[in-house]
Amino acid sequence: MLKIHPTAIVDSSAEIEDGVEIGPYTVIGPRVFIGEGTRIGAHVIIEKNTRIGKNNLIHHHAVIGTDPQHLAYRGEESWVEIGDENVIREFVTIHRGTAIDQRLTRIGNRCLLMAYVHVAHDCFLGDEVIMANGATLGGHVRVGDRVVFGGLSAVHQFCRIGSYAFVSAMSGVDKDVPPFVKVFGIPAKIQGVNLVGLRRAGFGKDAIRRISQALGIFLDGPGRISEVIEELRDAFPDDPHVADFIRFIENPSRQGIMRRKPFEGEEAF
């Protein structure tokens, strides 16, 4: 059964599946789809062209599917897609895409977006991403699976964040972050392998050792990325995780790949 509070406003074109709960004073706009078992708190705004999957929990005052904050936006149709079993906490904002990209902002499955997180237009998030309070993504950011962002961290538009990376609190990311690493600072720099994240994800000692060796080659090896890739392929011809690392650094965004690590004794800020 649906549970829609009498003060909620639901557009007639919205599709609401069984088991959905909608709290007081929430507004559901046109062409919105909300999947089975999703619970929505009070004073939530879900605007047009938003598709939300099953068993999500959306807390009070979240705002999803509003116009992108982009000067080139002229009202063209665009969308937000949110997968299943996500937790979206208070005052999170998620904006629709723009015509200069794929007109789509997408959140994967089982993500946790804590209070005041902002996901800008045209961002794509993988599965099981955690964004702590106040973390912010600029437009067109691509985030892999099981990435963790610390509180008040920020990512420059068009950057890519590789799977299993950790972005420390209050960091400013202005280049692509390779998978499996932890970064910190303004601008953020690579601090090493994300050991805690990899262990929690079930990576064994041998896998972590090879990833650490590959990262060492990436940071301290030849100056050209093409030469680094060749060396990594020769050193780890059959390792699937190193293959993922290589695929990531082969395809940098316009921001380029984060590579420099702090000098010994250098402050992160």
Mean pLDDT in each 10-residue stretch from start to end of the chain (269 residues)? 96 98 98 98 98 98 98 96 99 98 98 99 98 98 98 98 98 98 97 98 98 97 92 97 98 94 53
Closest CA to 127 of 163, 81, 92, 79: 163
pLDDT of residue 265: 56
Neighbours of 226 (CB within 10 A): 10
What tokens does 53 get? 């999957």
Give bridge partners of residue 58 from the DSSP assignment: 40, 88
- Residue 267: per-residue pLDDT: 47
- CATH 2.160.10.10 in the chain, residue ranges: 3-199
Kindly report the CATH number that applies to the domain delimited by 3-199.
2.160.10.10
How confident is the model at residue 260, as a pLDDT?
Answer: 73
Report how far residue 62's alpha carbon sits from residue 67's, in angstroms, rounded to the nearest whole number.
14
Q: Which of the residues are catalytic?
A: 121-122, 139
Task: Give the DSSP letter string of 40-52.
Answer: E-TT-EE-SSEEE
Q: Which of 135, 132, 134, 162 is nearest to 147 (CA)?
A: 162
Q: What is the pLDDT of residue 1?
A: 81
Whole-prediction pTM value? 0.95
Tell me the three state secondary structure of residue 165. coil
Alpha-carbon span 141 to 175, nearest angstrom:
11
The pLDDT, as a whole number, for residue 222 is: 80
**What is the Cα–Cα distance from 175 to 260, expressed in whole angstroms?**
11
**pLDDT for res 55:** 98
* Main-chain dihedrals φ then ψ at residue 142, nearest 5 degrees: -115, 125
Residue whose structure tokens are 């959140």: 107
